[in-house]
């Protein structure tokens, strides 16, 4: 009888411990109501975003698009919210579970079709955040040239112009449709700007174009602002790039918040949320340009090249 009582007590303790551990998890993860759908689990950046999502959601079911039986599994789980990672996952989630709230990450905002059940954290860093971070790097620089692709970045340039005006900066945007015209565009800016800001434009900012801009700006003592850590490593003064882990963490927070609501209140979904991005600095370049980077900016940077 003692053995039976002991066994019963141990079972009760185990059950209590299990319930306590479950209570410590976010509601969305505990109920299994958020499912992550990945475009390709082999992509390192996607996995980095998933690490951030797990920080917000705890353990959650993960399904890879294209895996055996993935679509049937997704429908069988009938999640309250689908957290999608990558453009392909976003497309198939909308087709497979129409009307289900979807939170996307690792997708450019311009590639997302607007619809009531879709929200997320875009891959782009907001223009306002980029400008704020770049101002912290070199607050004395006031005249900024902006090279952009009119086909893809006109809306961003309009936003940047408004933000610069509010911040008391002079922004000189220059649309360039062909990489061969970049040299002439920056030549016009020489002597008129103290910094040159590049927006993501794969068709425009090629490896050859960046190499030319790097040499040109150093020769003319112009601070070059990029959008990739590799640009900073190569010699740009600073870059503001996507922080994949932070993007995933914020997407997880969005998903958890939606899943925690009663089913009838999950729609419409909250608006899109942007991540702050990650700043990288090159202090060697700062020295060549004669710039003193504030300690605060150095402390905020994710990577500093010295």
Going from the N-terminus, what domains does the chain have, and what CATH number goes with each? 27-123+246-265 (3.40.50.2300), 127-241+278-305 (3.40.50.2300)
pLDDT for position 7: 37
CB 158 within 8 A of CB 208: no
Q: Please state, rounded to an integer, the average pLDDT across all residues of the chain.
A: 89
Question: Which residues, including other chains, have CB under 8 Å from residue 92's CB and lie 6 or more apart?
Answer: 37, 65, 71
* Calpha distance 147→195 (Å, rounded): 11
Is residue 134 a contact partner of residue 126, using CB atoms and an 8 Å limit?
A: no
d(CA 109, CA 124): 7
Residues present in the chain in total: 306
Instruction: Compute how many other C-beta atoms are within 10 angstroms of the C-beta atom of residue 32.
Output: 15
Give the largest Cα separation in the chain, rounded: 93
The mean pLDDT of 18-29, rounded to a whole number, is 40
Per-residue pLDDT band for 111 (boundaries 50, 70, 90) equals confident
The partner residues of 143 in beta bridges, in order of sequence, read 170
Over residues 114-157, the pLDDT tens digits come to 778 999 999 999 998 999 999 999 999 999 999 999 988 898 99
Cis, peptide link before residue 16, omega less than 30° from 0? no
**What is the rounded distance in angstroms from the CA atom of residue 169 to the CA atom of residue 163?**
9
Segment (H or E) for 253 = helix 244-259
DSSP state of 114: P
Asked whether the predicted pLDDT for residue 21 surpasses 70, the reply is no
Cα–Cα distance, 108 to 257 (Å, whole number): 22
Which secondary structure element, helix H or strand E, spans residue 214, and what is its range?
helix 207-219
Confidence band, pLDDT 50/70/90 cuts, at residue 109:
confident
Record the tokens describing residue 203, joined without a space. 């068709």
Percent of the chain's residues with pLDDT above 70: 89
| 3-state secondary structure (DSSP) of residue 306 | coil
One-character DSSP codes across 154-167: HHHHHHHHHHHHHT
**Confidence band (pLDDT; 50, 70, 90) for 52?**
very high
Mean pLDDT, range 265-294, rounded to an integer: 96
Q: What angle do CA 12, 16, 17 make, to 5 degrees?
A: 120
> H-helix or E-strand containing 198?
strand 195-198
Tracing tokens 């850590």 back to the chain, one arrives at 229
Q: State the pLDDT at residue 15.
A: 36
pLDDT tens digit string along 53-97? 999 999 899 999 999 999 999 999 999 999 999 999 999 999 999
pLDDT of 167 reads 84
Pairing of strands 238-241, 278-282: antiparallel
State the Rg of the chain over Cα: 24
Helices (H), 24-139: 27-30, 44-57, 70-77, 87-96, 127-137
């Amino acid at each position: 009888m003692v053995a039976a009582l002991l066994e019963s007590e141990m079972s009760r303790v185990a059950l209590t411990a299990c319930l306590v551990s479950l209570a410590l998890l976010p509601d969305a993860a505990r109920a299994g109501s958020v499912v992550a759908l990945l475009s390709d689990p082999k992509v390192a950046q996607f996995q980095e975003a998933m690490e951030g999502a797990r920080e917000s959601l705890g353990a959650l079911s993960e399904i890879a698009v294209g895996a055996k039986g993935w679509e049937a599994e997704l429908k069988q789980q009938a999640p309250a919210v689908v957290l999608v990672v990558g453009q392909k996952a976003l497309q198939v989630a909308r087709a497979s579970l129409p009307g289900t709230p979807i939170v996307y990450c690792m997708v450019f905002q311009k590639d997302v079709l607007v619809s009531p059940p879709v929200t997320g954290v875009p891959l782009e860093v907001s223009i306002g955040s980029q400008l704020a971070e770049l101002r912290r790097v070199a607050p004395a620089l006031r005249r900024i040239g902006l090279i952009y692709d009119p086909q893809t970045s006109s809306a961003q340039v309009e936003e940047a112009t408004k933000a610069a005006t509010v911040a008391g900066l002079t922004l000189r945007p220059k649309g360039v449709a062909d990489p061969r015209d970049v040299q002439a565009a920056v030549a016009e800016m020489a002597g008129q700007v103290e910094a040159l800001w590049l927006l993501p434009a794969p068709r425009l900012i090629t490896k050859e174009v960046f190499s030319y801009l790097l040499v040109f700006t150093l020769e003319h003592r112009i601070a070059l602002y990029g959008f990739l850590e590799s640009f900073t490593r190569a010699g740009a003064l600073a870059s503001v790039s996507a922080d994949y882990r932070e993007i995933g963490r914020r997407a997880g927070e969005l998903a958890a918040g939606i899943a925690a609501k009663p089913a009838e209140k999950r729609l419409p979904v909250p608006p899109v949320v942007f991540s702050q991005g990650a700043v990288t600095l090159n202090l060697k370049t700062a020295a060549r340009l004669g710039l003193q980077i504030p300690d605060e900016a150095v402390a905020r940077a994710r990577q500093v090249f010295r």
